[in-house]
Structure 1
Amino acid sequence: MTITHEWRGGFGNAEVDALHAEGFDQSSLQIDWLTRVQRHSLGWVCARDDGDLVGFVNVVWDGGVHAFILDTVVAAGRRHAGLGAELVAEAARQAREAGCAWLHVDFEDDLRPFYFDACGFTPTTAGLIAL
């Protein structure tokens, strides 16, 4: 198994949609992911194994020094092997190279070990308004 990571890698909407639905345990949303990331993102990382999309993370930004991790997802059969942390590490490298000084993420409590321990994020105070 040789996993490749590609910044701003090509992908089909259906493959990201299927991976997202599996990873977030929801129905397919049939989103035009490519248009969305091209319009709103600094970039994204695709992880592939022999051509199959097995991981994805989106990096949105404010156009300045703040970047934000969204939609980190790894195929079910590839989890707990470091692939998610590799995706986030590549996203961080690319955001740094683009001149960002901060990489933000928010997540549910069960993902604390992943983001704090495996990815190196530190706890911070933040706020949220449900709209």
Structure 2
Amino acid sequence: MWRLVEYAAACVAPAVILLACDKAVRAWIEPKHAVRDTPVPVSRDIARLSSDLTRLYAELDVLRTSKAAARVHRLRATTLAYDDVLESCCAALQVDDGLSPREWSSVERLEVEATLEDAGLRW
């Protein structure tokens, strides 16, 4: 019986020692109270935003007539990306779109596009 206990201890001890060392090293490298810097979103220039709008608008036209697999999902994702770039354009031009940041209807999207065109943005 005693030999069985010695054998079990000999098998388990190295694993316990390695786990304890691993935890000690992780605690030393990554202190719990370390303050991590949160990334600040970088504002993009208006020329880049305009080219993104052009590209996404063209992609939306292609997807509307496409017969590709998962067309609905691609159309939704591209529409959300287009809305996001429209919001970024409003922020860059300091134009108030008056809408909450969510998925817009096609009428709301047209209103934002018209507001941006009135502000001088062409795409």
* TM-score (ref. length: structure 2): 0.29
Choose between structure 1 and 2: higher helix proportion.
2
> Looking at CA atoms only, which structure, 1 or 2, has the larger radius of gyration?
2
Query: When the two structures are superposed, what TM-score results if normalisation uses the length of structure 1?
Result: 0.28
More strand by share: 1
